[in-house]
Structure formats: structure tokens, C-alpha cells
Amino acid sequence: MSESIAANEYRRSLLRRTKPITLTAGSATLDTDILTHYIADAVLIDPAALGKHYAWRDYPDFVKRGDRRLGVFSIKEGRTLVVCDPNVAFAVPLTTTGTRTLTTPCVVVKPATYTTAVDAPPEVISDLTEALSDTLRGTLSKMAGTNA
């Protein structure tokens, strides 16, 4: 369900969540609920220095590191976020450290128990309810057909 919502550019914003990221040597492992396919729509900020600006770059462009006035971020090897601060050259190992905030599309996480509320906007809850209702109708129809 989350993937189909995220695939619609007009509805993708319904899935945005803000995630704290702790960088060590310029990298951090992303949570499994982050839709990395849509990471190019993400916004990265440094809460300690709001004047820093970051832009998404595909990893080969991240390494080439053109204009240094902007910081850059990318994904390397699946779920590893890599970051270079503004006015810092790409180097191995990366040097950026500290806390950043990433706002990006995420999947709607399945609640741990049946009493736990689903954390999603009302539009997404409506879509989930409709999909579950359709599934139940199909299942009940099949059961009714086999019992007849």
C-alpha cells in the first residue's frame, strides 16, 4: 500500500516522516521503514546549524562533489546514508559527524499489537481500510462458495 501511495507524486507527501540521523564518519544506517526509492525527495537539515543546506546527489555525483557551497547526501550500498557538509571536499573516510534530521517518505509501519493505533494520516487510513475490506470480501466470498 505505501509503495503505491509513494508512486503518486501528489500523494507521496502523505508518507513523509522526520527521522533523526546520527552520522559517524559521514554515514548512518537508515531505518528499514524508509522508502529509499524516493530518497531523492528527502530533505536533510542540521538542527544545530540551520544555515547549512543539503542537496540529494546520486552516489557517483556525490563522490565527484562539484559546487561545495551546498552539502550533499546520497545512499551507498542499499541503506547507508552518506553526507558531506558544505565547503567540505569528498574524502575517504568521510568526516561529517553529528545529528541531522531527514524528512523522507516512509512505509506505514504495522502496529505491534491490535490495540496500537496505526500511525498514518487519515487519507492513508482510509486507503488501508478500503484495501482490507476488499480483501475480507474476497476471502468471505471464497469461503461461502466452498461451503455451499
Residue whose C-alpha is closest to residue 26's, from 96, 93, 128, 118:
96
35 shares its domain with 68: yes
Predicted local distance difference test score (pLDDT) of residue 118: 78
Predicted local distance difference test score (pLDDT) of residue 24: 96
84 shares its domain with 35: yes
Predicted local distance difference test score (pLDDT) of residue 77: 86
| Rounded percentage of the chain residues whose pLDDT exceeds 90 | 53
Structural domain harbouring 146: 110-148
**Contact of 47 with 28, CB cutoff 8 Å:** no
**What cell numbers appear for 138 in the block?**
474476497
90 shares its domain with 146: no
69 shares its domain with 123: no
* Interval 19-74: pLDDT, tens: 999 999 999 999 999 999 999 999 999 999 999 999 999 999 999 887 888 999 99
Alpha-carbon gap, residue 103 to 141, rounded angstroms = 42
53 shares its domain with 100: yes
Say if residue 5 is exposed, middle or buried (CB neighbours under 10 Å; 0-12, 13-18, 19+): buried
Which is it for strands 71-76 and 54-56: parallel, antiparallel or unpaired?
Answer: parallel
**What cell numbers appear for 100 in the block?**
541531522
Q: Which residue has the higher pLDDT, 27 or 109?
A: 27
77 shares its domain with 115: no
Q: Which residue has the higher pLDDT, 76 or 138?
A: 76
Total domains in the chain come to 2
Predicted local distance difference test score (pLDDT) of residue 145: 61
14 shares its domain with 71: yes
115 shares its domain with 82: no
77: left (phi over 0), alpha (psi -120 to 50) or beta: left
Q: Which residue has the higher pLDDT, 63 or 135?
A: 63
124 shares its domain with 88: no
96 shares its domain with 51: yes
